[in-house]
Chain A
Amino acid sequence: MSDWEPKIVTFLCNWCSYGAADLAGISRMQYPPNIRVIRIPCTGRMSPKFILTAFRQGADGVWVSGCHPGDCHYIEGNYYARRKFALFKRFAEHMGIEPDRLHFSWISSAEGTRFAEVANEVVRAVKKTGPASGYLKAA
């Protein structure tokens, strides 16, 4: 198991965290390559379907990151996302998805360092939890 590396599907808001990932890259910061980034227009666009689909297709963790409260490009999208995600995380645990597989963060496009930090944290947490199989639709 020691050489197992988790796959983490990462949904980043176009207006902030996606930029932060970019900044982290430009600044040559180190973070693990386990994250697969999908750009979304706003965390408010997140649907529970996306998260389950990630798990069904082999993700071991899902990380959603968007703008700080108050900074949403669309004024309030991330406020809705916050509620949706809080409820989702609790429900996912009820349905057999460990809480350490789901992560939500606020990272602005200026916070490249923070992006790398959180990425490290997320990967560490998912790695600790091990491979996810409960919602994996096997071949």
Chain B
Amino acid sequence: MIEYINKIKEISERLLKEGIVDIIIGFRKGTMPMMNEPCFAKSPEDIKNLVWDSNCGINLANYLTNYSADRKEKIGIIAKGCDSRNIVNHIIENKIKRDQLFIIGVPCKGMVDRRKIVSIFEREIKEVTEEKNKIIVKSDGFEKILKKAEVLQENCAICIHRNPVVYDELVADLVEEQKDVDRYEDVRRIEAMPVEKKYKLFDDLLSACIRCYACRNACPLCYCPTCFVDESRPQWVGKSINPVDIRTFHFLRAFHCAGRCTDCGACESACPMDIKVRTFTKKLEKDCFELYGWEAGMSLDERPPLDTYKFDYPD
């Protein structure tokens, strides 16, 4: 994917120069291995700093709403498959207008899971580079080459919409979509458990939660001016690290994403405690698909499942 960057820079430069957009939202190189920092570019100087590689897992669609209250300028945004689906979400939820955006589409080959890579090595990783399908990990005195396919983020490994859904210009030819992917193997495994076991599973899963809200804040779907956890009259959920409060928070956060989640994995990649928060949202995603044949963010012309109904749907 690193080969995309020249094209990204070229398009970005042209867009800014021709005044088609006022700002480009993309990534710049981070200060830690396997980390990139979302950034904006307004000048040719900024464009030089843009990067694109397998560490761009943060969903940039998030940056369209967090600050967009007064963001009236034309925005150029770099979007991989999931980002573009979240842009579609924003458009159909009237958060932003399609014509305010210039979408630079990136056919994605998956992002790497830095936790997975860190866990392979005993020692501290000092530098990580990539070449085609290889990830090269370096530390003091050792170097190891990993196959990218083996260290993909879990959501990327089962992704079936790698190509952007909406875009104004592509940085490369569309990639072949993965076929015959079993997206819900893990959900089915949980579904088969008795209720007590499910309860226990989530208890263990959430035991590390520190309620930093990184999962919520990394999610492009979470843009409410006041989140339910911050509401005080009535107060829906306590503020402590009481397990019931933590569970309530995750339950409601996930349900709020019902029919909207694109499984971009930003929540999971943001979690500082490595909690597999997608375990919640994936169940909803599966149900929306099974009940309503719905995949979020695939079309600008369809309403999301909880915003529409059919008369004859059996209850």
Contact = CB atoms under 8 A, between A and B. Distances in A.
Interface of A: 48-49, 52-53, 56, 69-70, 76, 79-80, 82-84, 86-88, 90-91, 93-98, 104, 106, 134-138
B234 A93 contact: no
A86 B255 contact: no
A104 B314 CA distance: 13
A91 B199 contact: no
Interface in B280-315: 280, 283-284, 287-288, 291-292, 305-307, 309-311, 313, 315
Contacts of B283: 90-91, 94
A87 B255 CA distance: 9
A86 B315 contact: yes
B286 to A, nearest CB: 9
Contacts of B292: 83
Contact of A136 (B187, B190, B244, B287): B244
A19 to B, nearest CB: 20
Given A94-B198, A96-B198, A82 B315 contact: yes
Q: Which 6 A-B pairs have the closest CB atoms?
A: A96-B199, A79-B309, A94-B283, A137-B244, A96-B198, A90-B287
Given A88-B255, A90-B283, A93-B198, 7 more contacts: A56-B248, A87-B306, A90-B287, A94-B280, A96-B199, A104-B315, A135-B244
A86 B288 CA distance: 10
B198 A95 contact: yes
Contacts of B280: 94-95
A48 B255 contact: yes
A135 B119 CA distance: 34
Contacts of A82: 309, 313, 315
A117 B311 CA distance: 26
Interface string B179-220: 000000001001100011011001000000000000000000
Nearest to A129: B195
A80 B313 CA distance: 11
B242 A96 contact: no
Counting chain B residues whose Cβ lies within 8 A of the other chain, the interface size class is 35 or more
B276 interface: no
Interface in B147-205: 187, 190-191, 195-196, 198-199, 202
B284 A87 contact: yes
Contacts of B238: 137
A14 to B, nearest CB: 20
A135 B315 contact: no
A83 B258 CA distance: 11
B244 A87 contact: no
11 contacts: A48-B252, A52-B236, A80-B306, A80-B309, A86-B291, A87-B288, A87-B305, A90-B283, A91-B255, A91-B258, A95-B251
Contact of A135 (B247, B258, B306, B310): B247
B235 to A, nearest CB: 10
Contacts of B287: 87, 90-91
A61 to B, nearest CB: 14
B258 A87 contact: yes
A97 to B, nearest CB: 8
A138 B58 CA distance: 37
B236 A53 contact: yes
Contacts of A69: 311, 315
Q: Which of A84, A87, A88, A104 has its CB near the most chain B CB atoms (within 10 A)?
A: A87
B22 interface: no
A100 to B, nearest CB: 10
A49 B187 CA distance: 24
A90 to B, nearest CB: 5
Contacts of B311: 69-70, 79
B199 A134 contact: yes
Given A48-B255, A84-B306, A137-B238, A91 B248 contact: no
